[in-house]
Amino acid sequence: MLKNKKIIVTGGAGFLGKHLVKKLVERGISKENIFIPRFHDYDLRKQDDIKRMFSDFKADIVIHLAAKVGGIGFNRENPGELFYDNIMMGVQLMEQARLNNIEKFVAIGTICAYPKFTPVPFKEENLWDGYPEETNAPYGLAKKMLLVQAQAYRQQYGFNSIFLLPVNLYGPGDNFNPESSHVIPALIKKCVDAKDKITVWGSGNASREFIYVEDAAEAIVLATEKYNKPEPINIGAGFEITIRDLVRKIAELTEFKGKIEWDSSKPDGQPRRMLDVSKAKKEFGFNAKTSFDEGLKKTIEWYKNEN
């Protein structure tokens, strides 16, 4: 289905984007038919830049990965920026895609869109059953509005837009900047760089689910090829691990022998996170293939080689 299509991948030069573009090329799409807007050329928060992008590249499909993201600390310090940048990018991009008769718009949401207290595993139908966890609610809600927009546009204009909800990603090429990184790269950096002790935020009791970046990229490509319905779809690996067990595992794999201190004055974030991933399997045959240990080893190896 995708072979002769012209595809815009926003965020295509980023962590997930690079893996996604590689998957598209493996599907037989020529690099000339994949357009990656760069921020210095197209600021996707600005309508005029988006219009110019669609004028410069006549696309059939848009896969919207671009987002401003970060860990708990970054979310606490920049809630307004995270809300504004993400909502402006998404809402204007989808509107201009509609006006340019784009065949399909693939919107990437976030697990942060789920209510703070959601029965585990999270099912797509629970998405509106409460307010998201406070530290990342502005980001989660900005992304969630793309689902509202996608469904409204499908209803009024017959516009084909789908909405995917991935869990936290990890893998080679992740963001290891301590100011803005998520938990896995932050912990890997601490354990590899530290000499005698590391400090970890929270109590360690919260749980998380993670998906290896190559698996997430494959899921998005499969959904782009095969899924054309209004309902949101979870993208995950279908397991959960407590932060305490995650720290132990990363310490073991990096051979960190020092002391682990917990800073309980810092927030845990959402108490538990694990997705029900049965719909992705049913609708477009997706199953995460990379085991967690294998994915962590590859990520640690990449970080050590780069530093």
Residue tagged active-site, from 84, 114, 131, 139: 139
CA angle, corner 218, sides to 214 and 223, nearest 5? 150
SS3 breakdown of the chain: % helix, strand, coil, rounded to 5?
45, 15, 40
Angle between helices 213-226 and 15-26 (to 10 degrees): 50
CA count, 13 A, side-chain hemisphere, 116: 11
Beta-carbon contacts of 13 under 8 Å, excluding residues fewer than 6 positions away, are 36, 38
User: 212 - beta bridge partners?
Assistant: 170
To which H or E segment does residue 73 belong? helix 72-77
Q: Of 147, 120, 114, 140, which Cα lies nearest the Cα of 275?
A: 120
Q: Of 97, 108, 109, 107, which Cα lies nearest the Cα of 157?
A: 97
C-beta atoms surrounding 149 within 10 Å: 22
- Single-letter amino acid, residue 150: A
Residue 153 appears among annotated catalytic residues: no
Please list, residue by residue across 169-202, b when 16 or more beta carbons sit within 10 angstroms of its beta carbon and e when fewer do: bbbbbbbbeeebbbbbbbbbbbbbebeeebebbb
- Single-letter amino acid, residue 176: F
- Which amino acids are annotated catalytic? 139
